[in-house]
Amino acid sequence: MSESAALLDDLLAGKHRALARVITKIENRDPGYRELVSGLYEHTGNAEVIGITGSPGAGKSTLVDKLAEHYREQGETVGVVAIDPSSPYTGGAVLGDRIRMASNVGDMDVFFRSMSARGNLGGLSTATADAVKAMDAFGKDKVIIETVGAGQNEIDIVGAADTVTVLVPPGAGDNVQMLKAGILEIADIFVVNKADMDGADRTVQELTEMVHLGQGSTTVDAGHHGFDEVEMDLEMPADTDPWKPPIVETVATDGEGVVDLVETFAEHRAFLESSGELTRRRRQRVAEEIRTLLRDDAAGLVADELEDSGGVGAFVDGVMSGDTDPYTIADDVMAPIRDCVEDQ
């Protein structure tokens, strides 16, 4: 049995150390990680995946902590993937395993893992979806993805979560309309956290008006979650009303509103299942994953061909001297790869 197969067996047997090792191999793209992820697939699809995003300072980490605590009280197991800013020097998570899951310290049924954003504009590492698969295959009932919170670019979360929750801090009312074209449009659920602070009522009002005017995630089109359509023989039942993103008020520091939020998650899950949207979203997710893998593999082939041709430095010299241009270089480098594909 290969090392990867043995590690996979340990993960499926419920060994947390194996889960940690698998995610490390996935994040580092260590040899054998693809075999591991391939082996995970048939064991996935059972966890409910919840995305928590929003602007910095909105209280995401505290809310995730309280959600995990609530789910544990209900006897459910939880996995948390926290996407941290990545170091410009090492590419690793700057904040590391932050001490932000204080309510769940020592509880092995809450598995917390920080991962680096690796500089991705969307704030989500390409390994995040694979880490979610590992937690799903392990048997976690809920998997929560908490993102960096970098503003409008924080939209990649829709590719990994079934339910997208956007936190909006009090006092953001003046900015709601300005932000609507970005991060706010991906929300399945809005949360106004720190609802005991000044400005919370106005923020709720602004969000309510935005949703009422149809400026939030008010349709169930897969397209609103950022992907091209995938051909599907799926139709929403004629009597299914579109999902209107509800607005939940919370004070995460003392757990206020957490029960209401969990109930809203359950309502959205029921909608996803009854409308067929859960299947749609997961199909779109797989389609995007296939595209991403193909792009990455093709980029690797091009990089190898570039090195075999003497490296990029020699090509730069040719452009600077006026002997060639970037387009001609790209055509020349791609020619052997294109010939191989055409010969198939």
Q: Verify that 262 and 327 share a domain, yes or no.
A: no
* 31 belongs to a structural domain: yes
Q: Verify that 71 and 160 share a domain, yes or no.
A: yes
Give the chain's mean pLDDT: 82
Q: Verify that 63 and 105 share a domain, yes or no.
A: yes
- Order across the sheet with 189-192: list the strands: 110-116, 78-84, 142-146, 48-54, 163-167, 189-192, 247-249
Q: Which domain range does residue 235 map to?
A: 45-279
* 286 belongs to a structural domain: no
* 238 belongs to a structural domain: yes
Q: Verify that 100 and 221 share a domain, yes or no.
A: yes
Give the pLDDT confidence of 264-280 residue by residue, as tens digits: 999 999 999 999 999 99
Q: Verify that 154 and 191 share a domain, yes or no.
A: yes
Quick one: angle between helices 326-343 and 312-320, nearest 10? 140
More confident residue, 88 or 313: 313
* 137 belongs to a structural domain: yes
3-state class of 48 per DSSP? Answer: strand
pLDDT of residue 105: 61
Q: Verify that 128 and 39 share a domain, yes or no.
A: no
CB-CB contact of 33 with 72 (8 Å):
no
Residue 124 is part of a domain; what is its CATH number?
3.40.50.300
pLDDT of residue 186: 83
Of the listed ranges 7-21, 138-152, 301-315, the least confidently predicted one is 138-152
* 284 belongs to a structural domain: no
Cα 163 from chain centroid (whole Å): 11
pLDDT of residue 72: 96
How many CB atoms within 10 Å of residue 178?
11
Q: Verify that 69 and 183 share a domain, yes or no.
A: yes
* 288 belongs to a structural domain: no
Instruction: Point out which residues pair with 52 in neighbouring strands.
Output: 146, 165
Q: Verify that 321 and 216 share a domain, yes or no.
A: no
- What integer is the mean pLDDT of 291-316? 87
More confident residue, 43 or 169: 43
Q: Verify that 20 and 124 share a domain, yes or no.
A: no
- What integer is the mean pLDDT of 236-250? 82
Q: How many domains does the chain have?
A: 3
pLDDT of residue 261: 97
* 287 belongs to a structural domain: no
pLDDT of residue 14: 95
The CA distance from 66 to 101, in Å, is: 8
Q: Verify that 150 and 202 share a domain, yes or no.
A: yes
Q: Verify that 218 and 72 share a domain, yes or no.
A: yes
pLDDT of residue 149: 64
* Of the candidates 103, 48, 98, the residue with the CA atom closest to the CA atom of residue 77: 48
pLDDT confidence of 316, banded at 50, 70, 90?
very high
Q: Verify that 68 and 115 share a domain, yes or no.
A: yes
pLDDT of residue 107: 74
pLDDT confidence of 147, banded at 50, 70, 90?
confident
* 30 belongs to a structural domain: yes
pLDDT of residue 126: 72
Query: Residue 221 pLDDT > 50, yes or no?
Result: no
